[in-house]
Amino acid sequence: MSEQKPGWKELPRGAVSTKSSTEYETGDWGVEQPEIEHSKCTKCMLCHFYCPEGAIKVREDGYTEVDLRYCKGCGICAEECPVKCITLVRKK
Amino acid sequence: MNEQILMGLNGDEAAAYSTKQVNPDVVAAYPITPQTIIVERFSEYVADGEVDTEFVAVESEHSALSSCIGAAAAGARAFTATAANGLALMWEMTYIASSLRLPIVMAIANRALSGPINIHNDHSDSMGARDSGWIQIYCENSQEVYDACIEAWRIGEHPLVQLPVMVCLDGFTLSHTMENVLTLSDEVVRDFVGERKFIVVEGHKGETELRLNPEVPLTMGPLDLQDYYFEHKMQQIEAMQQALKAIPEVDAEYAKVSGRSYGFLYPYKMEDAEVALTGLGSTMGTVRYVVDQLRSEGVKAGMIKMRLFRPFPAEELVETVGEVPVLGVLDKAASFGAPGGPLYEEVKSVFYDEDKKPFIADFIHGLGGRDTSPRMIRGVFESLMEIRGKEEVPQKVSYVGVRG
């Protein structure tokens, strides 16, 4: 049963979004998600820099990992990885 | 009422001087004839340290309005000015300013849209922006420009409104013609405009003013999908309706401060008029002169000068026209392919549902700065008298002063 959406009199004026953008977990937009094979990774961090969402973080140990809450599965990381250690896997 | 100093100011100077007195936080502007004096004069005030304004010399009009939007979103009072193709260049941003509910004030030195390139006065520029959600005030003389540029802040920032405001002045005719202007003191102007008032929203960190503030983050101008855009537009529609209530409030307060009482419309010799003419801007001064002439000849002529175009003062127009049988509309812009000029279309549609409606005829004139002389206005009144006599409108739309 879907909720009744608010009418125009109830919405905040100015079309302002009052939620923090961190609450919009766009990770569920993606059809595929990247898997990074750390054994092949050279810690170049290019995937971290290229990710348009900033969803790839660099860990303490220098390897990178994907924040699946925000990854939209665009595949740019896989495309840019110089050693091709990132593969896109269909989500279940 | 306060003491005022008489100054000789052209329309542009009046806009610059009043804005100096308001002392906005940001002015971001790009020059275009015939608005250049506004920005040049204001930049002199900045250079001389007479204002605290951050003056941003931008690379285009699109950037000018974008900068004002950014500034206003951050809570600043932002002012800009433009004309013709400059306004056209910032067209997309005019919609952003109004939908983000930013009470920016912009002076428009009305100039014909190119092409061919024409730097002279007509209303094609601001008429082209009539759907953008900005309040539009049209001025007849430099005094009105001075006063409107002060009132505009309070109108736009009114809690019921929160919309940007365009103050329109005829390019060259007003912008470059020196007139007597009674000016208030800096103090009185600053007291009148006061501090900017903001919309209050419920943010995720509690109630907050609608402005960008790192302590209470908000997202302004996010994506809307099919399920919300329409509702947000309804809010803008409502704000315009509310402006019809808010503007008289501001006008009343300004009257106390300046002694000048403004309204939406100015009827002149309408009480027993048989024929009347309505329109916007400086031409109405010429019309008033002709009305006086005709009256002395026994012709029952009248006129209604319109000051407010957006929101359109429909109710008041109908009331002011009353029983007058013939109403001519002076349009200083054409809308290619439309049944008539923009003002004519609005006036006519307002009367459609009325039981008593005058014969309405459109007179498109003055395009590209073509002078509309008293003789031409007399000609228009003669056409109106003919309509009165025949009780029909043989030509719905006429073009005044064009060859061929």
Q: Is B173 on the interface with A (CB under 8 A)?
A: no
Q: Residue A15: helix, strand or coil by DSSP?
A: coil
Using an 8 Å CB-CB cutoff, list chain A residues near B224.
Answer: 15
Span B257-281, average pLDDT? 97
Residue of A3, A4, A5, A13 to mutate for B, most B C-beta atoms under 10 A: A13
Using an 8 Å CB-CB cutoff, list chain A residues near B101.
Answer: 13-14
Q: Is B221 on the interface with A (CB under 8 A)?
A: yes
What pLDDT band is residue B272 in, cutting at 50, 70 and 90? very high
How far away is chain A from the Cα of B369, in angstroms, using its nearest Cα?
Answer: 38
The residue to which tokens 């961190």 are assigned: A22
pLDDT at B290 over 90: yes
Put simply, the answer to whether B100 touches A23 (Cβ < 8 Å) is no
pLDDT at B59 over 90: yes
Span A16-45, average pLDDT? 90
Using an 8 Å CB-CB cutoff, list chain A residues near B211.
Answer: none
ipTM rounded to 2 decimals: 0.80
Put simply, the answer to whether A13 touches B202 (Cβ < 8 Å) is no
Span A19-40, average pLDDT? 90
pLDDT at B149 over 90: yes
| Dist. CA A25–CA A47, nearest whole Å | 20
The confidence score (pLDDT) of residue A2 equals 57
The confidence score (pLDDT) of residue B215 equals 86
Using an 8 Å CB-CB cutoff, list chain B residues near A16.
Answer: 201, 210, 218-220, 222
Cis check for the bond before B217: say yes or no (omega within 30 of 0).
no
| Dist. CA A31–CA A73, nearest whole Å | 6
Q: Is A13 on the interface with B (CB under 8 A)?
A: yes
Report pTM: 0.92
Contact A31, A72 (CB under 8 A): no
Put simply, the answer to whether B217 touches A7 (Cβ < 8 Å) is no
Span B125-150, average pLDDT? 98
Mean pLDDT, chain B, whole residue set = 96
What pLDDT band is residue A1 in, cutting at 50, 70 and 90? very low
Q: Which of B218, B230, B231 sits opposite A16 (nearest CB)?
A: B218
Span B126-147, average pLDDT? 98
Name the DSSP class of A17.
B
**More confident site: B222 or A71:** A71
pLDDT at B221 over 50: yes
Q: Is B74 on the interface with A (CB under 8 A)?
A: no
How far away is chain A from the Cα of B358, in angstroms, using its nearest Cα?
Answer: 37
Q: Which of A6, A11, A19 sits opposite B204 (nearest CB)?
A: A19
Span B352-375, average pLDDT? 97
The least confident of B8-12, B64-68, B194-198, B223-227 is: B223-227
The confidence score (pLDDT) of residue A92 equals 82
Q: Is A18 on the interface with B (CB under 8 A)?
A: yes
Span B49-61, average pLDDT? 97
Residue A89, H or E segment:
strand A86-90
Put simply, the answer to whether B203 touches A18 (Cβ < 8 Å) is yes
Length of chain A: 92
Put simply, the answer to whether B204 touches A18 (Cβ < 8 Å) is yes
Displacement of CA B230 from its chain's centroid (Å): 26
Q: Which of B199, B217, B221 sits opposite A13 (nearest CB)?
A: B199
How far away is chain B from the Cα of A9, in angstroms, using its nearest Cα?
Answer: 7
- Three-state helix/strand/coil letters over chain B: CCCCEEEEECHHHHHHHHHHHHCCCEEEECCCCCCHHHHHHHHHHHHCCCCCCEEEECCCHHHHHHHHHHHHHCCCCEEEEECHHHHHHCHHHHHHHHHCCCCCEEEEEECCCCCCCCCCCCCHHHHHCCCCCCEEEECCCHHHHHHHHHHHHHHHCCCCCCCCEEEEEECCCCCCCCEEEEECCHHHHHHHHCCCCCCEEEEECEEEECCCCCCCCCECCCCCCCCCHHHHHHHHHHHHHHHHHHHHHHHHHHHHHHCCCCCCEEEECCCCCCEEEEEECCHHHHHHHHHHHHHHCCCCEEEEEECEEECCCHHHHHHHHCCCCEEEEEECCCCCCCCCCHHHHHHHHHHHCCCCCCEEEEEEECHHHCCCCHHHHHHHHHHHHHHHHHCCCCCCEEEECCCC
pLDDT at B214 over 90: no
| Model pLDDT for residues A36-89, shown as the tens digit of each residue | 999 999 999 999 999 999 999 999 999 999 999 999 999 999 999 999 999 999
Chain B, 284-343: which have a CB under 8 Å from a chain A CB? none
| Model pLDDT for residues B339-348, shown as the tens digit of each residue | 999 999 999 9
The confidence score (pLDDT) of residue A75 equals 96
pLDDT at B166 over 50: yes
User: Any long-range contacts for A38-46 (C-beta under 8 Å, 24+ apart)?
Assistant: A38/A63, A38/A85, A39/A85, A40/A83, A40/A84, A40/A85, A41/A83, A41/A85, A42/A82, A42/A83, A44/A82, A44/A83, A46/A80, A46/A81, A46/A82
What pLDDT band is residue B324 in, cutting at 50, 70 and 90? very high
Put simply, the answer to whether B232 touches A15 (Cβ < 8 Å) is yes
| Model pLDDT for residues B178-213, shown as the tens digit of each residue | 999 999 999 999 999 999 999 998 877 778 899 998
Span B201-230, average pLDDT? 87
Span B83-101, average pLDDT? 97
Span B74-83, average pLDDT? 98
Residue of B158, B219, B228, B241 to mutate for A, most A C-beta atoms under 10 A: B219
**More confident site: A20 or B158:** B158
Put simply, the answer to whether B204 touches A14 (Cβ < 8 Å) is no
**More confident site: B215 or A3:** B215
